[in-house]
Amino acid sequence: MEKKWWQDKVAYQIYPKSFYDTNGDGIGDLPGIIEKLDYLKELGVDIVWLSPCYRSPLADQGYDISDYYDIDPRFGTMEDMDRLIAEAKKRDMYIVMDLVVNHCSDEHEWFKKACKDPDGKYGRFFYLRDKEDGKLPTNWRSYFGGPVWEDLPGTNKQYLHVFHKKQPDLNWENPELREEVYKNINWWLDKGLGGFRIDAIINIKKALPMHDYEPDREDGLCSINKMLEEAAGIGEFLGEMRDRTFKPHDAFSVGEVFNAKDEELPDFIGDNGYFSSMFDFNETIFGGSEKGWYDCKEITPDDYKRCCFETQAKMGDFGFVSNIIENHDEPRGVSHYIPEGDCCDTSKKMLAALNFMLRGLPFIYQGQELGMENVPFKSIDEVDDISTLDEYKVALDAGLTPEAALKAVARRSRDNARTPMQWTGEENAGFTAGTPWLRVNSNYTAINVEKETIDPNSVLNFYKKLIALRKDPEYKETVVYGALEPFMEDRHNLMAYYRKGDKTLLVVGNYQWDEQEITLPSECKKVLINNYPDMVLDGNSVKLHGYQVLVVELA
Ligand code: TEU
Ligand code: CA
């Protein structure tokens, strides 16, 4: 694998709506991101991915774009965006935007024109089917619930939407549509963007001609995944997009790729892959249930370890995966991957190190560096997210009581990660001088940037140490590129692995409160990371404290 400019970096995801509000309207904005660039620089961040801030009705918080060439006024102006790119550049940082091109908003010009003239040029930008009484074109279930078909206003047709009905799918089979997409990507890259995170991309290829599949729930519908399994040939679109956009700009691209087949991975992220990298979702999808995500199983430490190692093994050395513990669609990693009741600064640091030291590109989601936690939702009225509200209905329909349904969706709700960033212990966590669009997590007086910056033992300062190790000229080669090999893989509640480069490092996490003893394979030369003040060593034998994590250099 040849080395690329972005591989030794540290990436950070911003959810603009909840990051920092400068004008008191309760909504985070681009000037707010500019103000906090120094905070990110100080943390050690190089690449900043912004969730969408294009013009949008915000039905799905910006993942429904009505103008790909404009900034939504709630986030700022195009001048703000240009300034953000320039200010980032001054600090040797890269701005990465979200590319949402499986669908647009139903308020986009293209869609409006398609409604006026469904048989014309813009009708062919979407998937339209004639309406037949009492029968849908297919029985596919949208990710956000209900059928994927909706009446095309003012016509006798229906349009396809695999997400919300305000997100009509774009027809990638149409070369004219693809040209529009490439033109837009290049327009942004020419402005000086570092690249794109590519949203929901696996959905752009539909199995054609469309047909029904065996229903998998009582609603008579079937999961989109059945159709995607059958859809072959996505590579033609992705290869074309790469050649026409990312490649000539040497841009960074990271795909939101679910369900890629193992044998296709080199095509996706090998040396001439469609993307630079893709996220590892192996842990996040663990425990999935046919009934819906409200029903998914909890993940144990041993499962978590297995999922991480599975991905690492699949990547071998041809690909460079992007590692996460959370994002804007997931619960907070510390609430998800640390067994209930065990979540505290010590265990948060353990999880941080175990994830951060994996081979690949680490992404930190805003607030993760503080150890931000899930929200204790008391009522469904506190939820804003369309996906959670929909899933709540699915759970009720399946016979759960309202209390049980709330509990079931609360653990995985996307709003867990969308509460405002906790900057200070002051009102609204210092996020806004107005009323925040989504309530602030009540633990903000204990968990915030101001407090953690001055506490040498904070989660924030632990992240800084991890980042510093990745950037240390002496260890960088090994931490960034070194091979990963599991160590004592079968030991219960222990996650441990080697990183082998020009040095040999061992990462060890005791994933429980009970102490456990391990024997180092060779002498410990140096302790590089430790979430305890001490390390109990007797010869080569180490007695690990509860949730202790160590990164040591071996002789
Ligand atoms: O998510 C794509 C995705 O596959 C979702 O089904 C995800 O699993 C879901 O959010 C779980 O509830 C992307 C974005 O990350 C998400 O925020 C958008 O809502 C979605 O695409 C549509 O653009
Ligand atoms: Ca604002």
Query: What sign does the dihedral 135-141-147-152 (CA atoms) show?
Result: negative
Q: Is 373 in the pocket of ligand 1 (CB under 6 A)?
A: no
Task: For residues 313-338, give the mean pLDDT.
Answer: 96
pLDDT in tens, 519-534: 999 999 999 999 999 9
Q: What is the DSSP letter of 150?
A: E
Q: Is 63 in the pocket of ligand 1 (CB under 6 A)?
A: yes
Cα gap 4→320, rounded to integer Å: 10
Model confidence pTM above 0.95: yes
CB 176 within 8 A of CB 121: yes
Task: For residues 29-33, give the mean pLDDT.
Answer: 98
Confidence band for 2, pLDDT divided at 50, 70 and 90: confident
Task: For residues 353-372, give the mean pLDDT.
Answer: 98
Q: Is 329 in the pocket of ligand 1 (CB under 6 A)?
A: yes
Q: Is 320 in the pocket of ligand 1 (CB under 6 A)?
A: no
Nearest CA to ligand 1 atom 1: 200
Closest by CA position to 128, among listed 154, 150, 101: 150
Cα gap 22→38, rounded to integer Å: 16
- For the domain bounded by 11-101+175-382+415-460, which CATH number is listed? 3.20.20.80
Enter the tokens of residue 126.
Answer: 């979407």
Render 228-248 in DSSP notation, one character per residue.
Answer: HHH---HHHHHHHHIIIIIHH
Rounded to the nearest whole angstrom, what is the distance from the C-alpha of residue 24 to the centroid of ligand 2? 6
Ligand nearest to the CA of 51: 1
Q: Annotated catalytic residue: which of 256, 330, 369, 390?
A: 256
Task: For residues 330-334, give the mean pLDDT.
Answer: 98
DSSP-derived 3-state class of residue 11: strand
pLDDT in tens, 475-519: 999 999 999 999 999 999 999 999 999 999 999 999 999 999 999
- For the domain bounded by 109-160, which CATH number is listed? 3.90.400.10
50, 143, 161, 391: which to mutate for ligand 1, most atoms within 8 A of CB?
143
In DSSP terms, 504 is beta-bridged to 500
Nearest CA to ligand 1 atom 9: 329
Q: Is 414 in the pocket of ligand 1 (CB under 6 A)?
A: yes
In DSSP terms, 524 is beta-bridged to 554
Rounded to the nearest whole angstrom, what is the distance from the C-alpha of residue 435 to the centroid of ligand 2? 10
Closest by CA position to 198, among listed 149, 157, 258, 138: 258
Cα gap 363→511, rounded to integer Å: 22
Active site residue 106: no
Rounded to the nearest whole angstrom, what is the distance from the C-alpha of residue 329 to the centroid of ligand 1? 6
Rg (CA), the chain: 24
Place of tokens 């297995």: 306
Confidence band for 317, pLDDT divided at 50, 70 and 90: confident
Render 399-439 in DSSP notation, one character per residue.
Answer: T--HHHHHHHHHTT-GGGGTSPP---SSGGGGS-SS--SSP
pLDDT > 80? residue 267: yes
pLDDT in tens, 177-229: 999 999 999 999 999 999 999 999 999 999 999 999 999 999 999 999 999 99
18, 50, 58, 63: which to mutate for ligand 1, most atoms within 8 A of CB?
63
Give the number of other CB atoms < 10 A from CB of residue 310: 13
CB 533 within 8 A of CB 545: no
Rounded to the nearest whole angstrom, what is the distance from the C-alpha of residue 109 to the centroid of ligand 2? 26
3-state class percentages of the chain: helix first, strand second, coil last, to nearest 5: 35, 20, 50
Domain 482-554 top-level CATH class: mainly beta
Cα gap 195→246, rounded to integer Å: 7
Q: Annotated catalytic residue: which of 199, 326, 369, 385?
A: 199
Rounded to the nearest whole angstrom, what is the distance from the C-alpha of residue 417 to the centroid of ligand 1? 13
161, 167, 328, 329: which to mutate for ligand 1, most atoms within 8 A of CB?
329
Ligand nearest to the CA of 76: 2
Position 541, amino acid: S
Q: Is 391 in the pocket of ligand 1 (CB under 6 A)?
A: no
Q: How far is CA 411 from CA 54, 292, 328, 365, in A?
A: 30, 13, 14, 18
Q: Of all atoms in ligand 1, which is nearest to the CA of residue 327?
A: 15
pLDDT > 90? residue 316: no
Look over the chain and give the mean of its residue pLDDT values, rounded to a whole number: 97
Q: Of all atoms in ligand 1, which is nearest to the CA of residue 414?
A: 12
Dihedral, 248, 251, 252, 256 alpha carbons, nearest 10: -70
Q: Of all atoms in ligand 1, which is nearest to the CA of residue 412?
A: 12
Ligand nearest to the CA of 288: 1
CB 531 within 8 A of CB 507: no
Nearest CA to ligand 1 atom 16: 329
The interface pTM score, or ipTM, of the predicted complex is: 0.96
Confidence band for 394, pLDDT divided at 50, 70 and 90: very high
CB 118 within 8 A of CB 127: no
Task: For residues 392-421, give the mean pLDDT.
Answer: 97
Nearest CA to ligand 1 atom 2: 200
Cα gap 138→147, rounded to integer Å: 8
53, 144, 163: which to mutate for ligand 1, most atoms within 8 A of CB?
163
Active site residue 199: yes
Cα gap 166→153, rounded to integer Å: 12
Domain residues of the chain, as ranges?
11-101+175-382+415-460, 109-160, 482-554
Q: Of all atoms in ligand 1, which is nearest to the CA of residue 100?
A: 23
pLDDT > 80? residue 1: no
Confidence band for 437, pLDDT divided at 50, 70 and 90: very high
CB 323 within 8 A of CB 358: yes
Nearest CA to ligand 1 atom 7: 329
CB 196 within 8 A of CB 96: yes
Rounded to the nearest whole angstrom, what is the distance from the C-alpha of residue 335 to the centroid of ligand 1? 20
Q: Is 100 in the pocket of ligand 1 (CB under 6 A)?
A: yes
pLDDT in tens, 97-107: 999 999 999 99
pLDDT in tens, 112-168: 999 999 999 999 999 999 999 889 999 999 999 999 999 999 999 999 999 999 999
Ligand nearest to the CA of 143: 1
Enter the tokens of residue 230.
Answer: 């059958």
Q: What is the DSSP letter of 244?
A: I
Q: Phi and psi of 132, rounded to 5°?
A: -120, 135
In this prediction, residue 38 carries a pLDDT of 98
Q: Of all atoms in ligand 1, which is nearest to the CA of residue 164?
A: 22
Q: Is 200 in the pocket of ligand 1 (CB under 6 A)?
A: yes
Closest by CA position to 16, among listed 59, 48, 64: 48
Length in residues, the chain: 555
